[in-house]
Amino acid sequence: MSTTLAAGSGFDFTLAQQLTVIALCALTAFIAHMALAVFNDGVRPFLLDFIQGRTTRSATTAVSFGLSAGFIFGLGAPMALSTGVLNPWLLFLPTDILGMLAPRKWLAPLLGGAWGAVVVFGLNGANNVAHDLPVDFLTAMQQMSTPILFLFTLFPVLAITKQFGRAWGAAAGVIELALVVLTMKLWPNMFAGALAMAVGVLMLIGLAVAKDLRRRREDRARGMVEEVAADDPMASLFSASAARLRRHLPLFMVLGAGVCVLAQMHVFGGGEATSFLIAKGQYAEAAQVDFYRVFGFVPLIATTALASGAYGIAGFTLVYPIGYLLPNPFLAAVVGALVFAVEVLALSWIGKVLGKLPSVRDSSEHLRSAITDTLQLAILFGSLMAANAMGGGLGILVVGGLYLFNEAMGRPVVRMAAAPAAVIVGGILLNLLYWLDLFTPVQG
């Protein structure tokens, strides 16, 4: 399977795609202004104090900006420019900030829509300028696709090892490796990690469910009875939060419709690996990858939503894989709305189920941790490959040096975003050296 993209990945949006992006950015900014949903999982817990009037809009905006800026400029923009595919860090993290920043309800959608316009009309110009430079760092950044796609395949192995020990982890690793080799041999046009990831995730879920069922049998055998206090403050908070979200169900259904339509248009990828798969037209594989990510985020999104009264802009992210596979945007709008309706209405039930399945809940934590670990290594390795492609040893020195400098300063740019940001800064520096006649480009 080829893991390289066409050198000229661009942003030639149709009018319908442009209007969808602008309208969706306006809607997400409006929803963020009302503190009903944000995309950044780290911001959501802070919204409870804002909703209950214990903190100000400006203070909450500062938190949102501090937790999101690195991902916007270090991951969202570089990933979009290198793949030609939009992503949630570029679209929804800025609308989180703009929505919270807006002092008036009517201003939030205007600011969000303006950001959507900047994205759809500005990216193509930036993309063309970058490709015309002597050192084409955007084409070099496409080197990131191979390590991201293949190392991401291993996240179930890491999660199993962390939760169930080395023996199960080793078994999962051997099985995944065998399946990758088998897929490359028998189905060369299929993403090699697709089958391996499916089996790995199923193993993790099976082990977690089996452990919880054993625990419940042992508890029953000992005569232990689960009791929930009627005046449990957390149960009361969860109930109030779920009721708040249900009151705005029509608005969430419109949001679900919009996100699903954007995914169906195939100009948007929900994750790092997914963006490269969408760029290559492998929509079924992209749907599979984003579907597996859902298992790592449902418990986090459900519990933070129930605790804070604010949902996720993409919900449980199920609308991503569903959207990729649907045949037209009209069906995507209907299905996306229905999916969000079911998610919001089922939040309380999901919270209760997760309370009874601690191992499954732990699995989601390990899955998210494993996804972060694999992507951090893949993005760093891919960024160094991009540095070598655009500047050889000097490129590696500059990009690697910027990454290490960021580490030494205490990571002002989050680790996952630091390496792609270093490639862009390094590419600009290499172009300056070329214009000073101090450097000869490796390519371009």
**What residues contact 329, with CB distance under 8 A and at least 6 apart?**
16, 20, 261, 264, 265
**What residues contact 251, with CB distance under 8 A and at least 6 apart?**
31, 36
**Percent with pLDDT over 70 in the chain:** 94
- Tell me which amino acid residue 368 is: R
Task: Kindly report each contact of residues 131-134 with a partner whose C-beta sits within 8 Å and lies 24 or more positions away, as own/partner.
Answer: 131/7, 131/8, 133/427, 133/431, 133/444, 134/431, 134/434, 134/435, 134/441, 134/444
pLDDT at residue 25, rounded to an integer: 97
What is the gyration radius of the CA atoms in the chain, in angstroms?
22
Q: pLDDT category, 237, cuts 50, 70, 90? A: low
pLDDT of 360 over the 70 cut: yes
Which three-class secondary structure state does DSSP give residue 268?
strand
- Bigger pLDDT: 38 vs 228: 38
pLDDT at residue 312, rounded to an integer: 94
Q: pLDDT category, 386, cuts 50, 70, 90? A: very high
For 35, 184, 239, 248, 354, the CA distances from 244, given in Å and listed in that order, are 11, 49, 9, 7, 21
Handedness of CA 408, 410, 413, 418 (dihedral sign): positive
For 202, 291, 373, the CA distances from 195, given in Å and listed in that order, are 11, 13, 21
Q: How many residues does the chain have?
A: 444
Lowest-pLDDT range of 4-13, 91-100, 241-250: 4-13
Q: pLDDT category, 190, cuts 50, 70, 90? A: confident
pLDDT of 44 over the 70 cut: yes
Q: pLDDT category, 191, cuts 50, 70, 90? A: confident
Global pTM? Answer: 0.88
Q: Helices (H) and strands (E) in the chain — how many of each?
A: 20, 2
> Mean pLDDT, to the nearest integer, of 275-279?
93
The answer to whether the beta carbons of residues 128 and 134 sit under 8 Å apart is: no
Q: pLDDT category, 223, cuts 50, 70, 90? A: low
> Mean pLDDT, to the nearest integer, of 161-172?
95
**In what helix (H) or strand (E) does residue 311 lie, and over which residues does it extend?**
strand 311-312
User: What does the pLDDT look like over 114-154, one tens digit per residue?
Assistant: 999 999 999 888 888 888 889 988 889 989 998 999 999 99
CA distance 415 to 22: 30
Q: pLDDT category, 217, cuts 50, 70, 90? A: confident
Q: pLDDT category, 329, cuts 50, 70, 90? A: very high
**What residues contact 294, with CB distance under 8 A and at least 6 apart?**
316, 317, 318, 321
pLDDT at residue 129, rounded to an integer: 85
The answer to whether the beta carbons of residues 398 and 391 sit under 8 Å apart is: yes
Which residues on adjacent β-strands are paired with residue 37? 311
pLDDT of 36 over the 90 cut: yes
Domain ranges of the chain: 15-150+247-435, 151-221
pLDDT at residue 10, rounded to an integer: 66
